[in-house]
Amino acid sequence: MSDREEIVSRVTTALNGRPSPVAIRNARKVDARGEQRGYWVVSDASGVIVASGTGEETFEHYCRAVGIDPADRNAVIDAEGRILTPGYVDIHAHGAWEKSFDDGSDGIDVARAGHAVHGTTRQVLSLITNPVDVICRNIRTVRAKMESGRPDILGCHLEGPFLALARKGAHDPECLKDPVPDIVDKMLEVSGADPASGGLGCIRQITIAPELPHGISAIRQFAAAGVVPAVGHCDADYETAKAGFDAGAGIMTHMFNAMNGLHHREPGPIPAAVEDPRVTIELINDGFHVQNPMVRLSFRFAPHRTAFVTDAMAATDCPDGAYKLGALDVNVVDGHARLVSNGAIAGSTLLLEVAVRRAVCELGFSPVDAVEAATLTPAKAFGFDKPNPVTGAPLGLIAPGYAADFNLADPADWTVEQVWCAGRKLR
């Protein structure tokens, strides 16, 4: 068995297992509420934080309350000044370690392990454009994984087939569709959604070009079923994008990429997202999809609403070479993925760990802002920053009542060294 096979087996077993109490002391806590040194956190056997703060006496009290001996060095994690963050939340990624989230249950296990060991404790699994029956099969697979009790899988994101041909990027043009009500109904049905009763299915997000003939009506239809539609892969003007957000779209899919850009006489969809406080804006902070000046600009004009995403494909954390994106051939050179057929950018090989590192170490962002973009902001896009039926405990902060999702990282370069998801040790 290879090292990666062993890691996949260990991570998958942990995620399918039960949580344990966790106690971490002497950390440099960084989350959206700020930064504190000498920090500790304690979670219980349900995978929820019971207390956090500073002060040794209080720490020892809460250790005993969850059944941990505060003097037991094997039971208490001494962070020794390492950075403690909430687990990273990636709401747009397609795969890693040579597998995509379209590759069945085993493929999901491999790709999730590839992201989990780098600190991405929760993930929305993005599914690529395919024939509708294949998409529906892949939705069912995600639904089954969630129903098995996996806490790390937040649902799926359908990036297609309702995209503009002119802005398709690396999506198969033969599979693009107008989102007519019958197809939307079929997708919602296989997801387990029940709009009549308010029951949520496993589809969290769907990217739609609002200018398509049924684009706006589909946004309303998905939103009514509890899905968060996203405006993206579109050729929409400002007014049409604004209509999409008013119809219920709450996300902009990887801003700047696969859409008409900013122009002083043709504003396009980006200003519509920026000026709407309801909208979470995805951003691929790899310096390739979006160059550094535009990354800095996005944080200035949409503070606390910019979510780092990876759009990571199967080649993530792998050597350069030949890969697949759906049925399409991709070549990765210097870590950059492009279609063999036309040279179009074909997703990324980014990890959220790297996106946070770039923000702090290269772009000079405050650690608080960088961590917020990888934790609380993406959680907010789906209401996961509050108690909810999908995650139970909220995500995105180191605070009592929140999920026991923790990363311990090297303060020198932000490399993630230890990871917990809902009280389950993944690394």
The answer to whether the 1-85+396-425 and 88-381 domains have the same CATH topology is no
- The average pLDDT across 199-209 equals 96
pLDDT greater than 80 at residue 287: yes
Query: Is 92 assigned to a binding site?
Result: no
Can you tell me the distance from the alpha carbon of 252 to that of 230, in angstroms, rounded to the nearest whole number? 5
Task: State the Rg of the chain over Cα.
Answer: 21
Q: Which of 235, 311, 385, 405 is catalytic?
A: 311
Q: Which long-range contacts does 35-44 make (Cβ < 8 Å, 24+ apart)?
A: 35/367, 35/368, 37/81, 39/84, 39/398, 41/84, 41/398, 41/406, 42/66, 42/68, 43/19, 43/404, 43/423, 44/404, 44/423
Any bridge partners for residue 388, and if so which? 392
Q: What is the pLDDT of residue 1?
A: 63
**pLDDT, tens digit, for every residue of 354-364?**
999 999 999 99
The residues facing 385 across adjacent strands are none
Summarised one tens digit per residue, pLDDT across range 351-399 is 999 999 999 999 999 999 999 999 999 999 999 999 999 999 999 999 9
Write out pLDDT tens, residues 102-154: 999 999 999 999 999 999 999 999 999 999 999 999 999 999 999 999 999 99
C-alpha dihedral (398, 309, 250, 244), degrees to nearest 10: 170
Q: Is 321 annotated as a binding residue?
A: no
346 appears as a binding residue in the annotation: yes
Q: Which residue has the higher pLDDT, 56 or 14?
A: 14
Decide if pLDDT at 97 tops 70.
Answer: yes
User: 233 labelled as ligand-binding?
Assistant: yes
CA-wise closest residue to 76 among 88, 86, 94, 64: 64
pTM, two decimals, is 0.96
Q: What are the residue ranges spanned by the domains of the chain?
A: 1-85+396-425, 88-381
What kind of fold does domain 88-381 have according to CATH?
Answer: TIM Barrel (3.20.20)
Give just the sign of the alpha carbon dihedral 369, 372, 374, 378.
Answer: negative
Strands 99-100 and 95-96: antiparallel
Q: Quick one: pLDDT at residue 347? A: 82
Range with lowest mean pLDDT among 38-47, 135-144, 293-302 = 293-302
Is 255 within 8 Å of 276 (Cβ atoms)?
Answer: no
pLDDT (average), residues 174-203: 94
Per-residue pLDDT, 342: 85
Q: What is the pLDDT of residue 25?
A: 97
Which residues, other chains included, contact 404 with Cβ-Cβ below 8 Å and sequence gap of 6+? 19, 22, 43, 44, 47, 48, 49, 420, 422, 423
159 is in an annotated binding site: yes
In whole angstroms, what is the distance from residue 170 CA to residue 186 CA?
A: 25
Residue given tokens 């198969």 in the structure block: 172
Q: What is the pLDDT, as a whole number, of residue 187?
A: 98
pLDDT tens digits, 322-347: 888 877 888 889 888 888 888 888 88
Q: Tell me: the pLDDT tens digits for 50-72?
A: 999 998 889 999 999 999 999 99
Reported as a pLDDT band with limits 50, 70 and 90, residue 418 is very high
Catalytic status, residue 311: yes
Indicate the average pLDDT of the chain: 95
Single out the residue of 97, 103, 100, 157 nearest to residue 126, CA to CA: 157
Mean pLDDT of 400-414: 98
Q: Which CATH superfamily is domain 1-85+396-425 in?
A: Urease, subunit C, domain 1 (2.30.40.10)
Length of the chain: 427
| Average pLDDT, integer, range 7-26 | 97
- The mean pLDDT of 30-52, rounded to a whole number, is 98
